[in-house]
Chain A
C-alpha cells in the first residue's frame, strides 16, 4: 500500500478502513438488480402425485413459449418481442426486457409427458405435470403369515 506513509512508521491506521472497504465491496457484489435475474422467475408447487410450475411471463402468449420435457427436466423457452415497432416515437423509459429466454427446471420426479396441462392466467404460466404411474411409490401389503 504505497498510498500511505504509515507502514514506515510501523503501524497503519488505514489498514482497518481498507479491510472494511474490501469487505463491503465483497458483500455488495452479490447484490444484483432485477435485470440480471433468471427469466422467467418460477415457483414450484408440489402435490401428492403432481407438480405445478408457475412462471411470470408478462406479455407472452401461449404461442411464444415452448415447453419440452426430457426425463425429469422441463425446459421453458421462447422469445419476448416488442409488440409493434413504432416509428417516430420518442422513448422515455425502456425497462422491459426483450429477447430469447430459456430455463430448465429439475422436477422432483419423472412425469407423464402425455398429461401436461398448461394455462396462462394474466401473464402467469401454469404448468401441471402428473407423476409417472410407474414411478409412484408402491404400497406393499404385508400378508399375515
Chain B
C-alpha cells in the first residue's frame, strides 16, 4: 500500500513553495513504521529534534508528504568537538493505496516520533455483502 516515491537517503536542498532557495541544510529520510488495521493506516516516523510547530503534513489525493524542520540547537558558548548527526530537515513522500477520510486524520508528535492515524474512507472499507433470498 505505502509505496514510496523517493528512496534517496539524503537529498540536496529543495526549493520551497516560496521559490526561495533554502540555506543548505541536509534533508533526511525519516525511518518509518507503517501498519494497517481494519479501519486505519498508522504511520510512525522518527524525526528527532523537530518541535511540533516544525511539522508539516499534507495529503493530496493519495500522496502523503511528511516534512519536519528540526529546531537545531546552537549551544551558545560551546564548541562542537565531535559530530555523528547533524540538524536538518526531514522529508518523505508516500503513496497510499487506500482512500483516506481526510477530516478524521490524527497527527501527534511525541518524543521526536510523529504518529499519523489515517482512517480509511468508508467506501474503502470492506463491506459484507448479503445474499438476497430469491
Residues of A within 8 A of B (CB): 34, 37-38, 41-48, 52, 54, 56-61, 86, 88-97, 108, 120-124, 126
Contact = CB atoms under 8 A, between A and B. Distances in A.
Q: Is the interface of B mostly helix, strand, loop or mixed?
A: loop
Contacts of A108: 81
Contact of B73 (A42, A89, A96, A124): A124
Contacts of A123: 46-50, 111-113
A29 B106 CA distance: 42
A83 to B, nearest CB: 8
A60 B111 contact: yes
B33 A93 contact: yes
A34 B29 CA distance: 11
Nearest to B1: A92
Contact of A34 (B9, B47, B75): B9
B58 interface: no
How many chain B residues sit at the interface, stated as a range, is 35 or more
Nearest to A126: B73
12 contacts: A43-B83, A44-B80, A46-B79, A56-B49, A56-B85, A88-B37, A90-B36, A92-B1, A93-B32, A96-B46, A121-B49, A122-B50
Given A123-B112, A124-B49, A42 B37 contact: no
A124 B31 contact: no
B33 A96 contact: yes
Contacts of A34: 9, 31
Nearest to B75: A45
B11 interface: no
B77 A48 contact: yes
A8 to B, nearest CB: 46
Contact of B31 (A38, A61, A95): A95
Contact of B85 (A41, A90, A91, A94): A41
A95 B113 CA distance: 13
B78 to A, nearest CB: 4
